[in-house]
Each structure stands twice: as C-alpha cells, then as structure tokens.
Structure 1
Amino acid sequence: MRIAVIDGQGGGIGKYIIERIRKAFGQEIEIIAIGTNSHATYSMLKAGANEGATGESALIYNLSRVDIILGPIGIAFPYGMLGEITPEMAKAFSLANIKKILLPLARENYLFAGIGDLPLPHMVDDLLELLAKEIQKRSGN
C-alpha cells in the first residue's frame, strides 16, 4: 500500500498524520510526503515518510503513483492553505481517480455542516479508521 500525505505551511498536520500512521501500522505502508513547500516536506520526512517531494509538479506527478491520498481539505480548493494550493494542483487532486481521505479543517471562509467541531487528534483518529478500512478492503479481508 502506497499513500501520499499532502500538507503545506509548516507541515504540522502532515507530520502528525504520518506519526500516527507509523504508530498504528508500522512500516507496512509506504508513505510519500508531498509538501507545498520545502519546510512542510522536511517536517513530514522527519516524522517517518519514506520519500518526499515538493511543489505543484511533485503533487501532480505522484497522484497517479499512490493508492490513497491523505491531508487537510484545503488541498482540494484552488488557493487553499493560504494560497499554497494552485488551481492546477486542486484540479489534478480533484480529478485523480483514487481514494482521498481528508480532514475537514474549517479555514478560509469555509464552514462544514454536519461534522461537529472535533479537535485534530479526534479527526486523525477517524482518518486512521477510514484508512484501516481501505487497507482491509484492498487486502481482501
């Protein structure tokens, strides 16, 4: 199983996701860290990603090389994550025919109904549950 964790700004959310994946699944999952900037990529590599790449081209290139994408919902919106997500990145992400598991972090004038106001650790718990179900489906168990 090969997954991409996408993050920007300081990479703190991606770092936290990767740390939790490593704790839950060990090394059985290959993780590619895709940062919108080099600091985010570096933070995710330090957290345990197998590989890392940075920027628009890296995101677009790697989307077809992973089974699942994880990250904050801002990666789906042009100019999301304080403008770090380009329209081309958002388009490639949206059109990628792979499973996406996103954290519903309310930012930049978006509010999400029906999900409550969970703290980040609880959101990541849910993300890991969904990831485990996807892994189980793909392994046929």
Structure 2
Amino acid sequence: MNIAVVDGQGGGIGRAIVDRVKKAFPDINVIALGTNSVATGQMLRAGADDGATGENAIIHNMQHVDIVIGVIGILNANSMMGELSPAMASAIGGSHTYKILLPINRCHIHVVSVEELSVSEHVDNAVKALGSYLKSL
C-alpha cells in the first residue's frame, strides 16, 4: 500500500498528515510529494518513507500510489499561490487513486456544509477516513 501526501508552500499541513498517518499505520509506505523542496523536506522530517519534488514527480507518482491525501486545493490548477500547476491538478484529479481531501477553505475554494474545524481536527478526520477505507479493502 502506497500513500502519497501532496503539499506545497511551507509543508506544515503535509507534515501533520504524514506524522499522524505514520503513527496510526506505521507499516504503510508514505510518499511525500511536494510542490517545492521545503514542503517535501518537512514531510520527510515527519517520517515519510520517501519523497520527491515538483511537477514531474507528482504527475509520475499518481500512476503508482493507491491513495492520495492533501487539501482540496490539490485538485485546483494554480492553487497554493501558483505552486500547483494545471498539469499537477489534472494528474491528481484524473488519477484512479482513492483521494482523501481536507476541506481547507483556501485557494479560492470555499467548501460549504462542512464543519469549521482546526487544521489539526481535519488531519485527524483524514486519518480516520484512511482507516475506514483500509478496513473496507
């Protein structure tokens, strides 16, 4: 089982996701995919098993992972202040992998009918969703 965590900018949300996923599921292979080297480095320091940076790395790895976790903005071209390219968004959105998306209302996306929670609570919910999905396999 390979899980990709996609993040950009400072990598803080990706770091939190990797940390909690590895604590909850230590045997699962987590790949840190950063839109920049800072984000990738943060996720690697949090315990990701492997990491890669940039457009080609994200596009390539969407063919090789089972699950993708990140903020909802990873489906939106030019999100993260332009760091997430249209090709990255297309590769992630067009991938047949199972997607667990945190409803963070940034990147010109406002998700309605979702509880206003802290980033930490959204990460906890993402890890719970991952556990439910893994049990269903």
**TM-score range normalised by the length of the shorter chain:** over 0.9
- Secondary structure in 2 matching 1:97: coil
In the alignment of these two chains, the number of paired residues is 137
Cα deviation digits, residues 20-79 of structure 1 (max 9, x gap): 1122122x1000000000010011001000100000000000001110000111110000
Residue 51 (str. 1) matches residue 24 (str. 2): no
Residue 5 (str. 1) matches residue 18 (str. 2): no
RMSD, aligned CA? 0.9
Residue 96 (str. 1) matches residue 89 (str. 2): no
Question: 1:110, CA displacement in angstroms?
Answer: 2.0
Map of 1:77-96 to 2, 5 A cutoff?
Answer: 77-96=76-95
Cα deviation digits, residues 91-139 of structure 1 (max 9, x gap): 111110110001111113321110021111111111011100111122x
Report the counterpart of residue 133 of structure 1 in structure 2.
Answer: 132
Report the counterpart of residue 123 of structure 2 in structure 1.
Answer: 124
**TM-score by structure 1 length?**
0.94
**AA aligned opposite 1:112:** V
**AA aligned opposite 1:95:** G
1:100, 1:7 → 2: CA distance? 14
- The 8 Å contact of residues 62 and 92 in structure 2, kept in 1 or not, is answered as yes
1:123, 1:100 → 2: CA distance? 14
Unaligned runs of 5+ in 1: none
1:113, 1:65 → 2: CA distance? 32
Structure 1 residue ranges (4+ consecutive) displaced by more than 4 angstroms after TM superposition: none
Identity of aligned residues (%): 46
**AA aligned opposite 2:9:** Q
2:84, 2:113 → 1: CA distance? 25
1:109, 1:3 → 2: CA distance? 26
1:132, 1:54 → 2: CA distance? 27
- Secondary structure in 2 matching 1:109: coil
1:83, 1:48 → 2: CA distance? 27
2:78, 2:105 → 1: CA distance? 14
**TM-score by structure 2 length?**
0.97
Unaligned runs of 5+ in 2: none
Report the counterpart of residue 24 of structure 1 in structure 2.
Answer: 24
- Secondary structure in 1 matching 2:133: helix
Larger helix proportion of the pair? 1
